[in-house]
Structure formats: structure tokens, C-alpha cells
Amino acid sequence: MTVQTEIETAANRRFRLVSQAIEELRPFLRADGGDCELVGIEDDLVSVKMTGACVGCMFASATISGVQERLVAALGMPLRVIPVPHVR
């Protein structure tokens, strides 16, 4: 196994764990009329798109913090969750 293969495997594992953690949160967000979609991962930055009632909600930053806490717990490493701008 080459170093490149090991790096890709680690990246794929991280993407899978982040995706799973976000998918587990989505039903709760949808119950309140919002949603959160994974846009991408680059190093320790996780980009998400908040939609529905989450757009413009005064609690959106608390939701982002909760998503970040869940991801840190799932991966066991520090991550930063960044919402991407909502384009109309």
C-alpha cells in the first residue's frame, strides 16, 4: 500500500464519518423546517449549506455549533464547520 493510497483512504473515511453524522442530524432539522447539507471537506474545514427555515434563523449559529460538536465527537479530531453563503 502506497502513502498516497493511505491518504486517500483516510480522506474517504473522514468524508464517510462526516456524512453519516450530518445525516443523523438532518431529521431533527427537517422537523423544524430546516436542513443542513454537506458541501465539502478541505483539511479540517467542513462546508455545509443551511436551507429552509435555517436560512436567516437567529439560532443558525447555535445549530452550526451543534453540528460541529457532533462531528468532533464522531471523528475524534478538531474540525471547523463553515456555512456556505445561500445563493438565491
Give residue 84's pLDDT.
93
| Residue 32 counted as domain residue | yes
Q: Is 60 exposed, middle or buried (0-12, 13-18, 19+ CB in 10 A)?
A: middle
| Residue 78 counted as domain residue | yes
Note the pLDDT tens digit of each residue in 9-28. Answer: 788 888 999 999 999 999 99
Give residue 18's pLDDT.
93
Note the pLDDT tens digit of each residue in 24-44. Answer: 999 999 999 999 999 999 989
| Beta strand residue intervals within 7-67, DSSP E | 34-42, 45-52
Give residue 20's pLDDT.
93
| Residue 42 counted as domain residue | yes
CATH of residue 29? 3.30.300.130
Q: What is the pTM of this model?
A: 0.82
Q: What angle do CA 65, 45, 47 make, to 5 degrees?
A: 70
- Give the distance, in angstroms, between the CA of residue 21 and the centroid of all CA atoms in the same chain: 8
Range of the domain at 72: 3-83
Note the pLDDT tens digit of each residue in 34-86. Answer: 999 999 999 899 999 999 999 988 999 999 999 999 999 988 989 999 999 86
